[in-house]
Every structure is written in C-alpha cells, then in structure tokens.
Amino acid sequence: MRQIVLDTETTGLDWSKGDRVIEIGCVELINRVLSGRHFHVYINPERAIDAGALAVHGISEDFLADKPVFARVAEDFENFVRGAELVIHNARFDIGFLDYELGLLGRAPLQEQCAGVIDTLLLAREQNPGKKASLDALCAFYQINNKHRTLHGALLDAELLAEVYLAMTRGQESLLMNLDDAPSGPVRDDASGAVARAALKVLRATDAELAAHDGVLAGIASKGVCLWLPRPDALTPEVQQEAPEPDEVDELPADDELLPHDGMQDEPLA
C-alpha cells in the first residue's frame, strides 16, 4: 500500500480569490513505513503574499522570486503522487488549492489521479470529539516532538503529519498482508500430486507435568466438584452393582414374543 502524506503553503486562505500555492511537501509511506522518498518544491506564485500568511510560514516574495512557477513542477508533482492514497490535514484546503493550480493548466484534478484522500483533521475529530485537532495539538497528544516547528513549512509539516497519522491509526498494520510473500496456491508434491503439508511437532507431557496436572485436579476436587474427574456419587447403587458376565444374561425372547416399543399389543389386522 502506497500513501503520500502531503502539505502545502499558500499566499493566502482562498484560492477562489486568486491565492496561489507557494510550497508543496510530500513524504512517502509504503505499507505504513516511511520509505525515505519525498517531494519538495518552492513555487513562484507571481503575486503578492498576504501579511497574515507570511506571519504563519515566513516565506517571502523575495525568496520565491527565482523559484519555478507551478507549470514547471506540475508534471513532477503528478508523477510522485499518482496512484497513491493521499493523507492530508484539512484536506479540503490543500486539495482545493492544488486542483485550482492543476485546472489553470487544463490538468486532471487530484481525485482522478490518486487512489483516495484521508483527512486527518476529520479523523481526529471523530476519534476525540471536542478536543483540539490542530497539528500542534495532535503532536502534543501523541507525544511527537515538534519543538523545531517555529513556523509552518510544507515538508516539515508533512513529516510530522506522517508520524501523527501512524499514531492515530496504530494497530491497523496487523490488518495488512504482504501479498508478494503469500503463496499463490497450495504447494503440491510433484511425485504424488498430493498437497504437501508441514509435519506437526507433537509435544507430549512429561511424567512430572502429568503428576503436576493430577495434583491440580485433586486440589480442585478437595474444594468441591471437579468437572475433569468422575463423580463417585454420580451412579445409583443399582447401577453401581457389578455388571453380569456375558454368559449370565438371560436369553432374549423369540421374535413373536416381543412387544411393540410402547408396550402395547398391536391391534389385529382386519
């Protein structure tokens, strides 16, 4: 399973008013393990950056002046995320901006290029209703060190989000199967055609273990009824009498002397 944890920084809060993406950061998870591969790029938005946004991420227009425009990085970005499941905090925000950028170039939206989207903001609110669900709050909740996060940054936030996501969904790795390692079918013996099975190792109890087991049962019986031992009073005195030897059994009656099963004579046939 391939997942891409993704974050962006932008010139402002609303792409519908002309705000643009200025940074994209992605890290790759393969079967819930960081692979070490990442995608990171700064982008020249060709417009001013809002003061409020600058205070959040600290990325200035001067810094972005010599960076590529989105059209020059779009293909590399698509190649990195294509076919993967995206993991995003507040996915509506990032997807909206990226789809806007792709749409300006006539390219397909992310939903058509990727396997799906997991929104960790919604997931956090479902798991802990009423609790703060910001990335900083989740790092604190899951004891993930984010002291180096003085400003927002797409790649740094993606790396932190990957740790948060794995902590939020811990336990799901037991549901995964490595299909490459699984046999495609039963292994057969070439000579006989029968299914070859591994020999089972039988571990028999030692004399000491059997004696210890009997001691446990005796201890239980001394305090009351032990279900694993026969009850001496379970049989009536009549049943407890010694069974007769085979040659002492009375001879069975002839067939015509047997009564019906309910003990009544059959009515004569007309």
Cα-Cα-Cα-Cα torsion 61, 136, 25, 45, nearest 10 degrees, comes to: -20
Averaged over successive runs of 10 residues, the pLDDT of the chain (270 residues) comes to: 97 96 97 96 97 94 97 98 97 97 98 97 94 94 85 90 95 45 47 59 85 86 77 53 47 44 43
Q: Which domains, and CATH codes, for the chain?
A: 2-174 (3.30.420.10)
What is the CB-side half-sphere exposure of residue 207 using CA atoms within 13 A?
A: 0
Enumerate residues 6+ apart whose C-beta is below 8 A from 248. Answer: none
Active site (annotated) includes residue 152? yes
Residue-level pLDDT at 149: 76
Using DSSP, state whether 216 is helix, strand or coil. helix
Residue-level pLDDT at 231: 64
Catalytic site residue from 40, 152, 213, 261 = 152
pTM of the model: 0.63
Residue-level pLDDT at 37: 97
Enumerate residues 6+ apart whose C-beta is below 8 A from 141. Answer: 128, 131
User: What is the rounded distance in angstroms from the CA atom of residue 50 to the CA atom of residue 52?
Assistant: 5
Which alpha helices (H) appear in 82-206, and where do they start and end?
Answer: 91-104, 110-113, 120-127, 135-141, 154-168
**What percent of the residues of the chain are helix, what percent strand, and what percent coil, each to the nearest 5?**
40, 15, 45
